[in-house]
Amino acid sequence: MPRIVREADIEWEGTTARGSGVVRATSSGTFELPSTIASRVEIHEGKTSPEELLAAAHAICWVTSLGSELARLGTPPERMHLKCTITMDEVEGQGHRIVASHIAARAVVHEADKATLAEAAAAADAGCPFSALIRGTATVTYEATLEGGS
């Protein structure tokens, strides 16, 4: 398979504590976002943080894995909604660490029962490259529920 390269950059003015930065999606041009250290560790005040961007990345990665697994089982999803929550904590002797990522998925899937969704979700979590990447250093958990159907 071909290698795929994606790029983003940030311009940061001043120190971490008092400065601020702008993160840009240079590959797709889809976003240009303000970021500060306060938005990362205190309240976000409408600014993003590395962890929020990782939460968005994990949510997409997982939702595409779940869709693939449901299709593979013969029950392609009609619609899926997924929430990812990343937790960063101060770990004694190690400073700030990303300690956990939790996925909460809701799927509308015709003709899928709970067991099928559970099987697809387990395979999705095992197969999601992002889950695999951070499992060595953080706890990855998930829950998946069927919505509006059998």
Partner 1 sequence: MAESTAHVTWHGSLLEGAGTIESVGSGVFSSLPITWQARTGEEEGKTTPEELIAAAHASCFSMALSHGLAGAGTPPESLEASATVTFVPGTGITKIALTVRASVPGIDEAAFLEAAEAARVGCPVSKALAAVPEITLDAALA
Binding to partner 1, residues 57-76 (CB under 8 A): 57-61, 63-64, 67-68, 71, 76
**Sign of CA pseudo-dihedral 144, 103, 64, 147:** positive
Binding string, 88-127, against partner 1, x = CB under 8 A? xxx---xxxxx-----------------------------
Least distance between partner 1 and beta carbon 70 (Å): 9
The interface with partner 1 within residues 11-50 (CB under 8 A) comprises 11-17, 19, 21, 23-31, 33-35, 37, 39-42, 44-50
Least distance between partner 1 and beta carbon 114 (Å): 20
Question: Tokens in use for 6?
Answer: 């994606």
Least distance between partner 1 and beta carbon 111 (Å): 15
- Mention every residue, 6+ apart, whose C-beta is less than 8 A from residue 85: 55, 101, 102, 104
Residue 135 and residue 142: Cα distance in Å, rounded?
Answer: 13
1 contributes a contact to partner 1 by CB under 8 A: yes
Question: Tokens in use for 114?
Answer: 């709970």
**18-32: burial string, b at 16+ Cβ within 10 Å, e else:** eebbebbeeeeeeee
Interface pick for partner 1 out of 123, 126, 133, 139 (rule CB under 8 A): 133
